[in-house]
Structure 1
């Protein structure tokens, strides 16, 4: 049962998600703290950059499908919901709940993960 889970799409999606989240978070911190870019601008910029890496990792590793221009052009649609949920979440966490802007992007990412899995699977497995 454990071996089956470790080879499942859900597990591979989680592995890619962790790698992608680390990539996003490092970029977010770099833009926000090193380049002193506003936290929402840093969030959106890091999000877009990490989304490109996520496309290739999810195509090759998670869903074991071949990337194509058509899928690449559709893939950002999967993130429309993700970026909306994570952006609203980070705003609520930072501005309304006064949670530290260093931690809140991680919480916002966790909130958005289930939506991204469902939508990306539909696009990348076609």
Structure 2
């Protein structure tokens, strides 16, 4: 699969993930402050994003290792979107309903590069398998 196809699939997953995040954000916004609603919605949508990214974007098998590393792919996204939401709402006085959508757009390129690196990284070979591969003399 080419990088271009992966980028298109990544964008489609991003649209689904953003819709999921935004729906959760709006629902949580009714009883949480906007930053708390953002953090909870972000965490919940990240789990779904992991499986869509694994199966649909990169056609790779999800593993616990990738699942545990996947939040690192979103660390930059989280920093960019959280900072963006704060700056847009508290500094630029945008409405809290639309600020996350604008902030999310700024994080897309960074998230693609980092997620591709983690999701397509070869799994380490356990020591026992390495020992079995060494020819016996």
| Higher share of residues assigned helix | 1
User: Which structure has the bigger radius of gyration?
Assistant: 2
Give the one of 20, 25, 44 matched to 2:22: 25
Q: TM-score, normalised by structure 2?
A: 0.85
Aligned residues: 120
Could you list the runs of 4 or more consecutive aligned residues of structure 1 that deviate by over 3 angstroms after TM superposition?
Answer: none
1:50 is aligned to 2:26: no
1:1-126 matches, within 5 Å, as 8-33=5-30, 36-126=31-121
- Once superposed, what is the RMSD of the aligned Cα atoms? 1.3
Q: Structure 2: 5+ residue runs without aligned partners?
A: 122-137
Q: TM-score, normalised by structure 1?
A: 0.92
Q: Distance in 2 between matches of 1:114 and 1:51?
A: 17
